[in-house]
Amino acid sequence: MCTDVTTLLFGAGGHAKVVFDSIESSVGEPAQVTVVDDNPTLVGQDFFGTRVQRGDVCEQFDAFRFHVAIGCNGVRRSVFERLQACGGVPLTVVHPWAHVSQHARVGEGSFLAAGCIVAPMSRLAEGVIVNHAAVVDHDCIIGAFTHIAPNVTIGGNVRIGDNVLVGAGAVILPGVSIGDGCTIGAGAVVIADVMTDKTVVGVPGRILLNKENKP
């Protein structure tokens, strides 16, 4: 068994490329990480000069840190919990061009991309993604394994639950609450509270009705 503490980057897709670049930008040199993925079509492929390994490589290490670089909330959560159960310690990745208030709180295993803003008194739970140029204003609460896509604007005092996807360019007005498992479509403007497991689209935002998503 290897006794050195290894850093695992779990994921070798597009989002993982952004996370890998952020790690390198933070340390100012090539990232010393082991890149792994469960997708057999990615295993063995070149990833910025390193070879992608199988996801079960974590079993080779006595101690390791990990970051799950997968955009899909459900998959990210499942892998996160699996690696924790193996003894891994979540690693938060913050790009040096992200602006995070010293009075904000960021949960373990989260990712904050270049150009994003996390304002004072905001609280992010574990496994959150705040992507490029997204704004999380003051006093917001963002639930676990939620993904805030690029160029989203979240006003002050917003409450967002777990496993929520806020699509690119969406706007959530101050004071609004969004329940667990919701999807906010790209470019939507949310002006009122949204219950659990709803999909919101349009300007102003309206609930999209279908067989699985009734009002």
At 59 the pLDDT is: 77
Q: Residue 206 corresponds to which tokens in the numbers above?
A: 């309206």
* Lowest mean pLDDT segment, chosen from 14-18, 97-101, 209-213: 209-213
What pLDDT was estimated at residue 1? 31
Distance from the Cα of residue 3 to its chain's centroid:
29
DSSP-assigned states of every residue in the chain: -B-SPEEEEE--SHHHHHHHHHHHHHHTS----EEEES-TTTTT-EETTEE-EEGGGGGGBSSEEEEE--SSHHHHHHHHHHHHHTT-EE--EE-TT-EE-TT-EE-TT-EE-TT-EE-TT-EE-TT-EE-TT-EE-TT-EE-TT-EE-TT-EE-TT-EE-TT-EE-TT-EE-TT-EE-TT-EE-TT-EE-S-B-TT-EEETTTTEEPPBTTB--
Query: Is the model's pLDDT at 213 over the cut of 90?
Result: no
The pLDDT > 90 percentage for the chain reads 85
pTM of the model: 0.93
Q: Closest by alpha carbon to 47, among 86, 75, 8, 78?
A: 8
Q: In this prediction, what percent of the chain has a pLDDT beyond 70?
A: 93
pLDDT by residue (tens digit) across 82-94? 999 989 999 999 9
Average pLDDT over residues 184-193: 98
Question: In whole angstroms, what is the distance from residue 147 CA to residue 161 CA?
Answer: 11
The predicted-structure confidence for 27-71, as pLDDT tens digits, reads as follows: 766 678 999 999 999 999 999 999 999 988 877 777 899 999 999
- pLDDT of 5 higher than 70: no
**pLDDT of res. 3:** 38
Which stretch of 28-37, 100-109, 189-198 has the lowest confidence by average pLDDT?
28-37
